[in-house]
Structure 1
């Protein structure tokens, strides 16, 4: 869950768990990781010819939800299905800093506390209509109107003047978003209560990086938007391709958007199709797809495949274990921690974390293409990443000592709570490829060695859509869950772990966490050293409290037909986390 990657500024949920939508250098020096380090970040540069069809594999053991809206999506499979048609307003450099090369320009005025966004003339929706100011403003209404039930609304957006009042239904428009040339102009000016250091970077969460076609959506009531045909069956985009056909939950076919502002894309057609992760290696070996992500546990099966280029990156993401310690109060728009929750004991959480043999699992099941991570801020964020965080490496002796000291005494086979009551812990984990079951059962076995009575929610791995539903709605049958974030490219943590963030799925709230999140995005944090210090302090705090424990990240390896050029994983060649599809084509 881009920090999303739950989505966008936040993140989307991955198949390892909740993939919004990262991680440090590999601690393993095994052959798999070394192989990946040799991989290029892009296909060889060649001149591309016009024409051709590219088939893309979307690896998922469940249908994609089919929400083709940047504001309403919460899962990475929807984001991937929508990618060829989607385009962010902004391009970035390789450090995720917004530049003016994209569909829109961004100007930040610290003195007047404004961000001015102007869409370029000639940037048109696939129906030929110019993207206008109202299209830039409308995403904020979609996110903030409670009737849409948008999961990606966050406290960061409440830095915009009038946003909170609109969200709470006290105002019928957002007073802080001005359209100086009217709705049909091309500029919006956003007035903020306070400017933030992250605003220079993509994925900052304070302003949106997508447009929504107001003329196309305006007649749909907000409470019907998510289920509407305009979102599910006939989405309208301004990217290089437009949707020509959707087979619900299974495939999307794209053809060129003849109004695309950068010119005609190279390809005639792009098809994105769901394939089971268990079939992925066979699909790659048989060249069924031109672009397919390698399932890391299947690397040895595919690494010798002919006529493909393997392109790799370490994505901005991580998998994690989280503990449910409260509930989301939808009326008040806050997370409410339950002090008496059985998982609201730091010693119990720390012991459970020490009971996970993550490094051994990564080595055995992913040929070293996955690797343990110790902190919630990945190494790609440079000096914001605190390499001194110790994390939780496998240590059953230490885990037992912690439990003994905290009075989790054994009664027979299992430990009981300090108050003497039985301790039963339900783990929610998502179904996935063929290695998911043995990996999860292995972790449960380690916890059993500690005398902890851990079992799967429902007695089995949970299908993806049901998994998200249980996590988001605080299902009482979930005490802890294994998930993953795809992160936004600006490292602020408020949208994932803030008191008013619906995506703080652990539901922990502390005054110390609130204080640190505020400080890392404060005026003082325009001073880089101050901001770095606060990020380090927060990582140490989160490591100690262990409400959310990072487990691993993995190289993302993609098998690309060796006749294709223009495919790249570099931030400057991607757009809001997705391939810039207009430049992909077949080499001449």
Structure 2
């Protein structure tokens, strides 16, 4: 897995709040929003079918999404959770991990760290081939870093963490033609890559640490394409190739895809004859789940109440590493410097205004109403699934219209005759909110928030006049459109909880564009030499969470359990990090 997928972009299409994804949409879409008393505490993260597998079967995968998928099938270029879900059957990480997400031997490549030499040595398994029969080689590993760092691709994956690689910043700036810190001792077609770091960091042995990219790309397949043309090329959009257990054979843009076994796969022989992937409207998902129309379909709590007693499907699930949030725009991205630049005069750069918005949002009530038993209000930006790294002493922003009004009054936001507040300088205040269109639960949640903000005198309007298509939302938020003051989104995080790639000065994913000395200090402390002391590192994580809670540049909102309806014929399916699609089979046709 690679650090941080945008659950936000499509996460909200279905739940209006979480998944970046567990995989893009764990939403409820029923017309009814009454609470169920469904108990999800005994749900397992895997299937328990022990019957004999059958051959020649087709596995149907349903993906909840209110919008067509974007179709950027590249780990290095896509930030969309649904795009990642489309290619999950073919797209395999370089490195194998254990159940704690620590790197272990036995994957497409092995990795070995040398703290004294400040290197990571990657050794490729000689049996690994791309689905076109070409071998995975060193250049494929190195070229992934080039794609990310080359300014021509405008990749959102180029982060401050990756700048810890020697020569990465120079390559990105265009002052060097190669990344000097990535060495291929046996040449482009060899099986070894040595990465040289400026500093070794805590967590480098864990997947998703942000300092080591965990994918490779087929250089032989992409080398003829200019970097600025890659994202629109047929090799990325229509005919991507990978080295995982399956390969894509059909694609209906934005709607569906089909996969068959990769005959060159180095690992266990895939057991399914075909896998089909289809986008499912969130409003149709509960009925589809109950009818077992798909072998696997993400569901929400209302859907769970409908399917939990079904004799056709079993529900599997887990506590997610994902969350949803509200972000406030307080600056711009400077592509020349590769840094976020905060504007002290930005409309939303007033802590009292941001906190007032948070206190007016009845997130707890929304969770109880729309996501009973499986949804809750999140207090910090490190979810509970991260255990000791999450600061349980921090309390979520309580629902208090009075506290919100008091904050606005003291900050000089005065109410006019129309009931709406002005800026402290007396000018008109209109807050533009970018949100993605979703299902009826999403609409109800948005209406709840809008009514609350109106009660405290804030004139909040939708960017563009209405909830947006996911692609339009992504374009507006990522490119700092002038008519976006705040937006809701979410992240699906890796197990290593470093936050540099999401909230640092040089993080493209820092869509709020906030940059403060304190935030920078705490982020650096998390991955400093001192942070090799786990107690010190935990303390810095806790201090950062408290600081972010106090400043409210980002407001965590919903935390929702990942649930999937799986037909009873499915065998070997697991949500654990050690799982593979090669293990999945069915026991009847």
The TM tier, using the shorter chain, reads over 0.9
Residue number in structure 2 paired with 1:190: 195
* 1:468 correspondence with 2:474: yes
Q: Match of 1:131, SS?
A: coil
Question: Structure 1 residue 286: deviation in Å?
Answer: 2.5
Residue number in structure 2 paired with 1:27: none
CA contact (8 A) 2:573 2:583 kept: yes
Match of 1:227 among 223, 227, 232: 232
CA contact (8 A) 1:321 1:483 kept: yes
Question: Structure 1 residue 48: deviation in Å?
Answer: 3.2
CA contact (8 A) 2:18 2:558 kept: no
Question: Structure 1 residue 303: deviation in Å?
Answer: 3.1
Residue number in structure 2 paired with 1:443: 449
CA contact (8 A) 2:325 2:557 kept: yes
1:170-181 alignment, distance < 5 Å: 170-181=175-186
1:59-98 alignment, distance < 5 Å: 59-98=64-103
Deviations 1:496-542 (Å, cap 9, x if unpaired)?
00101111000100011111111101111111011101001100000
Runs of 5+ unmatched residues, structure 2: 23-33
* 1:554 correspondence with 2:560: yes
Runs of 5+ unmatched residues, structure 1: 23-29, 574-579
CA contact (8 A) 1:56 1:291 kept: yes
* Distance in 1 (alpha carbons) for counterparts of 2:105 and 2:35: 41
**More divergent stretch after superposition (180-189 vs 396-405):** 396-405
1:400-411 alignment, distance < 5 Å: 400-411=405-416
TM-score by length of 1: 0.94
Deviations 1:291-324 (Å, cap 9, x if unpaired)?
1111334333333332111101121111001111
* 1:213 correspondence with 2:218: yes
Q: Match of 1:320, SS?
A: strand
* Distance in 1 (alpha carbons) for counterparts of 2:18 and 2:505: 19
* 1:38 correspondence with 2:42: yes
Residue number in structure 2 paired with 1:481: 487
**More divergent stretch after superposition (336-345 vs 11-20):** 11-20
Q: Match of 2:44, SS?
A: coil
CA contact (8 A) 1:138 1:212 kept: yes
Question: Structure 1 residue 141: deviation in Å?
Answer: 0.4
Question: Structure 1 residue 408: deviation in Å?
Answer: 1.6
Question: Structure 1 residue 102: deviation in Å?
Answer: 1.8
* 1:452 correspondence with 2:458: yes
CA contact (8 A) 2:435 2:462 kept: yes
Q: Match of 2:203, SS?
A: helix
CA contact (8 A) 1:241 1:256 kept: yes
Residue number in structure 1 paired with 2:335: 330
Match of 1:107 among 81, 105, 112: 112
Match of 1:397 among 389, 402, 409: 402
* Distance in 2 (alpha carbons) for counterparts of 1:477 and 1:33: 41
**More divergent stretch after superposition (536-545 vs 86-95):** 86-95
* Distance in 1 (alpha carbons) for counterparts of 2:35 and 2:10: 29
**Aligned in 2, Cα 1:358/1:432: closer, same or farther, shift over 3 Å?**
same
CA contact (8 A) 2:377 2:396 kept: no
* Distance in 2 (alpha carbons) for counterparts of 1:480 and 1:455: 10
* Distance in 2 (alpha carbons) for counterparts of 1:368 and 1:18: 15
**Aligned in 2, Cα 1:21/1:501: closer, same or farther, shift over 3 Å?**
farther
Residue number in structure 1 paired with 2:11: 14
Residue number in structure 1 paired with 2:392: 387
Question: Structure 1 residue 375: deviation in Å?
Answer: 0.1
Q: CA RMSD, aligned part only?
A: 1.7
Q: Match of 2:99, SS?
A: coil
Aligned residues: 571
* Distance in 2 (alpha carbons) for counterparts of 1:391 and 1:37: 23
**More divergent stretch after superposition (271-280 vs 414-423):** 414-423
* 1:567 correspondence with 2:567: no
CA contact (8 A) 1:52 1:586 kept: yes
* Distance in 2 (alpha carbons) for counterparts of 1:33 and 1:163: 53
* 1:526 correspondence with 2:523: no
Question: Structure 1 residue 587: deviation in Å?
Answer: 3.0
* Distance in 2 (alpha carbons) for counterparts of 1:304 and 1:51: 29
Match of 2:256 among 247, 251, 255: 251
CA contact (8 A) 1:309 1:560 kept: yes
Question: Structure 1 residue 242: deviation in Å?
Answer: 0.5
Match of 1:354 among 351, 359, 365: 359
Q: Match of 2:444, SS?
A: helix
CA contact (8 A) 2:18 2:322 kept: no
Question: Structure 1 residue 258: deviation in Å?
Answer: 0.8
Q: Match of 1:419, SS?
A: coil
Q: Match of 1:137, SS?
A: helix
Residue number in structure 2 paired with 1:157: 162
1:414-429 alignment, distance < 5 Å: 414-429=420-435
Question: Structure 1 residue 223: deviation in Å?
Answer: 1.0
TM-score by length of 2: 0.94
**More divergent stretch after superposition (406-415 vs 80-89):** 406-415
